[in-house]
Amino acid sequence: MSNVKRVYADFQKVDDDRRLILTTRGTMRDLAFFGIELQDGLILTFYSDDADDSGNKDDLVVKGVVHYDRRSERWVAEINWNEIKHESEIRAD
């Protein structure tokens, strides 16, 4: 997973359809850093800060599909909430 470009998303910042809202400062920072321009149908790997029971960094990670929501005039990402894993789980696979 370390070679995959990961984009920050606040997993608690969602719209009424439970899609990630991609307007946070961290999201914008990562998109600019990687030179990613959002477009409908783009598949990205998103992460959100988390830690294990001992307080060690263990981010949550999930793939999602980017869409532009014309109603709210913002970019969102559709994810499968059941596929969210900790980084440590992915490394163990």
- Say how many domains are in the chain: 1
Chain segment 11-45, per-residue pLDDT in tens:
999 999 999 999 999 999 999 999 999 999 999 99
pLDDT at 4: 73
50-83 pLDDT, tens digit per residue, is 999 999 999 999 999 999 999 999 999 999 999 9
Residue 88, amino acid: S
Q: Does residue 81 lie in a domain region?
A: yes
**pTM score:** 0.91
Side-chain-facing half-sphere of 78: CA atoms under 13 Å: 9
Q: Is residue 30 part of a domain?
A: yes
Tell me whether residue 82 is in a domain. Answer: yes
CA distance 47 to 50: 9
Alpha helices in 1-93, H assignment, sequence order: 25-34, 87-92
Range of the domain at 65: 6-92
